[in-house]
Amino acid sequence: MSSFKLFANVVDLSARSSKPAAMIVEAGRIVAIEATEKACPTFVLPGFVDSHVHIESSMLTPGHFAQAAVVHGTVATVSDPHEIANVLGVKGVRYMLEDAKRVPFKFAFGAPSCVPATAFESAGAALDVTDVTKLLDDPAIYYLSEVMNFPGVLANDPDLHAMIQAAKQRGKPVDGHAPGLRGAEARQYADAGITTDHECFTLEEAEDKLNAGMTIQIREGSAAKNFEALWPLIDRYPGRVMLCSDDKHPDELIRGHIDALVRRAIAIGCDPYNVLIAACQVPVRHYGLPVGQLKVGDPADFIEVDSLTEFRVLRTFIDGETVAEQGRSNIEVDPAGPVNYFECGRQSAQGFAVPDRPDAKLRVIGAIDGQLVTNELAMEPTRCDGLAVADPSRDILKLVAVNRYDARAKPAVAFVHGFGLQRGAIAGSVGHDSHNILAVGTSDQDLAEAVNAVIQERGGLAAVGDGSIKTLALDVGGLMSVRPCEQVARDYEALCKMTQELGTTLASAFMTLSFMGLLVIPQLKLSDRGLFDFNRFDLVDLWV
């Protein structure tokens, strides 16, 4: 490990001040911080921490995620391997841990608590109390991942409570996931041992959970964007909020990470020290991360920036090593070999046909741009030859879910409003939470072509239309690529451009599609077993 002396304005978050100093680093640790009269043009501060993220949603392996994130001053992530666990179980979690060890970055992985997320979908694996407890015994596992089945917690589900108790007995925090939970129920959820929530949509909901003793993660990712609603919490509750992305696609990760939220919060007028405490300090304290905080004796994990307003990251250090400088990453990646579970046969257009039901309306999913939540709509179907069919002119498209783990399973079919495609279809094996194949399209033939393109790759994304097919192979669990961020981002942007050319009105059609199967978020979603109503927490008929 290298030794060096760095002259800069050193930010002390505890004292809420900065002062010119010479910081001496030896063997990966800060051994001295000495005041100086020397003018220092730059500032050093603790590195940024993403307090809740699914690495898999970046479509990158942990190593390649780290390679991209350090450029933006991120030195650590609190990472829930829930997605790969739904595909491969404990084997998937072990893959993430193994790949993460190959790079100089501070990953804190959790033990997934809800695999599968519900009993109404087919996943590739299941984790029981014994599996989760064994994971929690591993020092590389820092916490119990988001407990999404909050109705189960409120109903005193014995397995969920056993997992929560196992985490508490080991002194490890428990992450929450309870969209819309308020008042007495929020307090009951927190009293069960849940310590965080990243699903708040309103200030009132967040404050209910803060009053119940929870720490709130302000989320701004590629899919769900709650920063605009929640940023006042930063100054109202300093030390009790964190920043997170939850899901970050590769094209956005190239442009920014937690640094972008820091700049945005300060531009709005938040106190800079409160912002930095949320971005750098609270996650380290809450999860017990081995991340330095610019104190003598700490690991030398910090970033050098040009100012405390622009926060342009000049250099990033982890354990005293320069892992990024001047917008370039110094991390070299040798990813672990790919793992997968994909047992799906080719699909036919005939398999997606929906027989008409005279004098009945369709129960249609209403997709909302930039949101995980959906609406439930009752709409007259467009009928043709005894079938209910997609109708791009009315923005009523067909949505299918295909079980990727069982070639014998029949697809589930529904209808969706809000995608705006005028031609073609798109499909992907990124389908939260169980990651079956989801596809939306303007005709059964286009749907079959897009789904089969994903099947041919044994996982990935595909767009079909205007006589062409584009694909992005995701060879690790059908979720991640073994290629660098720049290459994955380039191919993903090409796919997104094609969806725009096919007429979508969504900012990110593939991202929205991936959440059409997320049953633990309101209101109407599609699993491989059928249409699911969150409010009833049960499968419902396609016809009203």
- How many CB atoms lie under 10 A from the CB of residue 134? 14
Name which of 401, 395, 402, 440 is nearest 526 in CA terms: 401
Residue 1 has pLDDT above 70, yes or no: no
For residue 236, what pLDDT band results from cuts at 50, 70 and 90? very high
Instruction: Mark residue 89 as left, alpha or beta (left: phi above 0; alpha: psi -120 to 50; beta: remaining).
Output: left
For residue 451, the model assigns a pLDDT of 98
For residue 230, the model assigns a pLDDT of 98
For residue 312, the model assigns a pLDDT of 94
Q: The tokens of 347 are what?
A: 């699909």
For residue 101, the model assigns a pLDDT of 96
Residue 2 has pLDDT above 80, yes or no: no
Angstrom distance (rounded) from CA 187 to CA 180: 13
Q: Are 93 and 112 in contact (CB under 8 A)?
A: yes
DSSP letter for 370, please. Answer: T
Residue 538 has pLDDT above 90, yes or no: yes
Q: Per-residue pLDDT tens for 43-79?
A: 999 999 999 999 999 999 999 999 999 999 999 999 9
Name which of 325, 326, 320, 302 is nearest 8 in CA terms: 302
Q: Per-residue pLDDT tens for 412-438?
A: 999 999 999 999 999 999 999 999 999
Q: Per-residue pLDDT tens for 473-490?
A: 999 999 999 999 999 999
Name which of 426, 399, 423 is nearest 411 in CA terms: 399
Angstrom distance (rounded) from CA 105 to CA 95: 16
Q: Are 48 and 74 in contact (CB under 8 A)?
A: yes
Average pLDDT over every residue of 115-127: 94
Q: Are 520 and 149 in contact (CB under 8 A)?
A: yes
Mean pLDDT estimate for the chain = 96
